[in-house]
Amino acid sequence: MRQERDPCVYLLSNGYYGAIYIGVTSNLLQRLVQHREGLLTGFTKRYKVHRLVHFEMFGDMERAILREKQLKRWHRQWKINLINAANPEWKDLAVGLGLPPLAPGKRHNGS
């Protein structure tokens, strides 16, 4: 049985204008849960970067990976502009996808 995939590039932050993390996945909801539960070690766990502030869906993983690499080369201000264009309040878009709001203890308002 073939697993259905939804290639996606996503940007996480730990607060309004906070740290920004860029990742790629074939299952956005599963990956967000992994980040929120601290199952993925590294930057997102260390700095509590769990708020989904931007995501882009793709038809295939190759294009998603190319977009991820492109965004990672961007200057920080360009990434901020991208987020602000569709999500100026830097709300957690994961709530609109069906995940519960982040618990206050898991939120970090890094400036």
Look at residues 81, 89, 24, 77 and name the one whose alpha carbon lies nearest to residue 51: 89
Is 111 within the bounds of a domain? no
63/90 Cα distance (integer angstroms) = 25
What confidence category does residue 105 fall into, taking pLDDT thresholds of 50, 70 and 90? low
Q: What is the CATH number of the domain that holds 71?
A: 3.40.1440
Establish if 79 belongs to a structural domain: yes
Among the residue ranges 2-11, 36-45, 94-103, the one predicted with the least confidence is: 2-11
DSSP-assigned states of every residue in 30-73? HHHHHHHTT-S-SHHHHTT--EEEEEEE-SSHHHHHHHHHHHHH
Where residue 103 falls among pLDDT bands split at 50, 70, 90?
Answer: confident
What is residue 111's three-state secondary structure? coil
**Structural domain containing residue 54:** 8-106
pTM recorded for the entire structure: 0.89
- Residue 63 domain-assigned (yes or no): yes
Domain count of the fold of the chain: 1
Q: What is the pLDDT of residues 14-36, one digit of tens each?
A: 999 999 999 999 999 999 999 99
Can you tell me which residue has the tokens 């991208």? 82
